[in-house]
Structure 1
Amino acid sequence: MKLATALILAVPAIFFAEAGRAADAPVVVTSIKPVHSLVSAIMQGVGTPELIVDGAASPHTYNMKPSNARALQNAKVVFWVGPGLEAFLEKPLEAIGSDALVAELDKAPGLTKLKFREGGAFEPHDDGDHNDGNHHDGNGHDQAHADEDHDHDHGAFDTHLWLDPQNAKAMAAEITTTLVAADPANALTYQANAKTLDDRLDALDKEIAGIVSAVKDKPFIVFHDAYQYFEHRYNVRIAGSITVSPETIPGAERIAEIHKKVGELGATCVFAEPQFQPRLVDVVIEGTKAKAGVLDPEAATLDAGPDLYFNLMHGIANSMKDCLARES
């Protein structure tokens, strides 16, 4: 009976201890799944961040929900890539209370930024020459900066920054700095988690390079031009995109141009994305030797959490390898 009584008394004590620990965690809100994944990894043992663009939604076409607005109003810290990607968040973030820390991760120190490829159909590097005048560094990275004139709003660079694990490391460092500033009581946990994440990202970088090494010289077509960072990191050959941006449905002339290019490339792959117009891919490959595949740069089909970023990158690499290695 004494043991039973002790257990009964212990249960409320454990419950309130856990509740107290959860209450100590800052309210953290993240914009998209890849950012949420990095933040989740760094916050493990402290709390779980909230996610705005959940499920199969895309930041390119997202509309704010009342629950999202409430989450932002309650937030102590908000992480987003920036207005070039999550334009729907720009005004809501301006309206939230001044007590919240807002970290725009496209401003993280150490990022490699690549210029938008205006016109997007087929760039000079599709002839197989990776030294195409884009001023790459020794790792095949374009060091263009966002202060050049450009037709895109909010600067001149492509905002799909996370598709290079070295950029993910830079973003993770900024996330850690922000969390430590907002919640110094848990600084040691954040910093230890960040070190673990940093090591995992280095290992991932090597794994991805190994996965795509056998097919990196085979050209392929993507739905929209979201993969520059992956392309430049691993020297894969993107020969063009069906549309410049996913909000823009290509016209008949553009489709005919790409269909012709696919025919010239022969047994290539054309990759759809889960959220956007996969039937266009069927039109593009009709009557050619090309094969269809799917890439998921924003993790629409993946469950949110600390492992999502790694599943995302492995998924892209394996989809490329599986499709491009298939015989026609």
Structure 2
Amino acid sequence: MSIRPGPRNLITDVEGILVGNAEDHRIRTGVTVIYPEARCPAAADVRGGAPGTWNIQAMDATSLRNEVDAIVLSGGSMYGLDAGGGVVAALGARGRGIGFGGAVIPVVPGAILFDLANGGEKDWGEAPPYAALGRAALGAVAPHFALGNAGAGLGARSNALKGGLGSASTLTGDGLQVGALVAVNSFGSAVMPGTDRFWAGPLEMGEEFGGLGPPTTRWRGEPEMPLPPGFAVNPMANTTIAVVACNVALRKGELQRLAIMAQDGLARAIRPIHTPFDGDTVFAMSTGRLPLTDPAMLARLGHLAADTLARAVARGVYHAASLGDRQGWRERFGR
């Protein structure tokens, strides 16, 4: 079956998904909101050793319901948890959520990454900016959005390079739509040590992250794993957080399996991954516009989601511009 990127090569090529970004360049941080036009089921899979999440238990297969109104990815470490509250307040004011006892309760899970050591001004005192950034990102949701130094990717760093916000999509000839969005803030590297080649190079479609393709010489490995500049053991200093979406109707357990399989995309694009210093988390969403016809379709979706997420990682690093002590990939390699 032929596959190709969607017309935008963004997660919004999955019909019914919108994305909004908001940034504070003085602080060097931001928020990204993934917004389904209709409430939709979701799941989450956490593999990193130092995660920062909220409300993911509401999506568990053993919970009463697992539909969400939005998913929030935020910088700011624990301060970034406020972004979810800002989105909840804004959605509630719109009447979006579960009606219960005369109240409307939006369901908004999310995850945070650490960007507090990137040189931005973090002098917010008792008024962190994240609730306002969450509301602004929700207000900006649209089919098109920026990559690289945008949203939750603004302050991100990826090993020795600048990290960023990435997205990609895959469409199949029989109507499957799969998209991925990721804020790359990884302890591990998205490029092979000593080269300019992305680990995800064999999966590239067209020239979506430089057109270099796989390496032309054999990589013989390094005596030690590549460490980011100034590395010191800090269990909160990294995390790659992502969302994958599809247009196939999936139940709770099936969505959980999609999120689990999608995590392999991080392993195809970042080395090492799921370390004690990362909080790697992948959410999965389903807009339910096509029926699931057999278990093989779920396996296909998981495979496509993993490859699409790997491509999104490379695109996030490829589009990121230099900031603070981290060079952007294009500046570093003169591309």
Q: Would you call these one fold, judging by a TM-score over 0.5?
A: no
Larger CA Rg, structure 1 vs 2: 1
Q: Which has the higher contact order (CA 8 A, sep 6+)?
A: 2
- Whichever structure has more helix as a proportion of its residues is 1
- Whichever structure has more strand as a proportion of its residues is 2
Normalising to structure 1: TM-score of the pair?
Answer: 0.29
Normalising to structure 2: TM-score of the pair?
Answer: 0.29
